[in-house]
Amino acid sequence: MAKRSDSILGPIILLIVGGGFALFWITLASSHGAPALLLLFGVVFLAVLVITIGGSIFKTLDERSRNLAAPMLTSQARVVTKRTEVKHRGKSHTTEYYATFDLPSGERLELELDGAQYGQVAEGDWGLLRHQGTWFLGFERQPAAEPERPSPPGDELVCEYCAAVNPPGTRKCSSCGSSRLVPRTAESAT
């Protein structure tokens, strides 16, 4: 299963520890007859803590509920690009991995992958993409079909593989089926 970065445990622990500190500060300041400014500092600290961490928790839960409500989709896709983002926290760091997929509808979708999945996809890969909302569920690589190249209008076309001559406007060789057709030149006519 893919990495789902929707854990709210860290923010909840931070809220409990920070809130405990703020409540301790408020209690200590009020019981010892401290100036109102110290009491106000504790209240403001608690309010800022609850608003910022509460917002983070709300955002995570909202994204999680939208992803759970979204259908699991499988569609043909091409890996357009890959990128990493390194986040530093003190002496430690984490690396987040992303891939952007081009869907047949023309939509581009950037999804977060784990390190092993990131290593298995390469830019330009074609395959079946499985995702649910913004959650990456998998990518099954498939060999890309040889893309059809439109032939230029005008003179006859020569197949690069079998050297068969084809009429103008042909997209595939009538002899071998290859799409590698080039305009007939004076050298290829002889």
72-101 tens-digit pLDDT? 999 999 999 999 999 888 888 999 999 999
List all residues 6 or more positions away from 64 whose beta carbon is below 8 Å from its beta carbon. Answer: 4, 6
Would you say the pTM of this structure is higher than 0.95? no
Nearest to 101, CA basis, from 69, 64, 141, 146: 141
Tens digit of pLDDT for each residue in 169-182?
A: 777 887 777 778 88
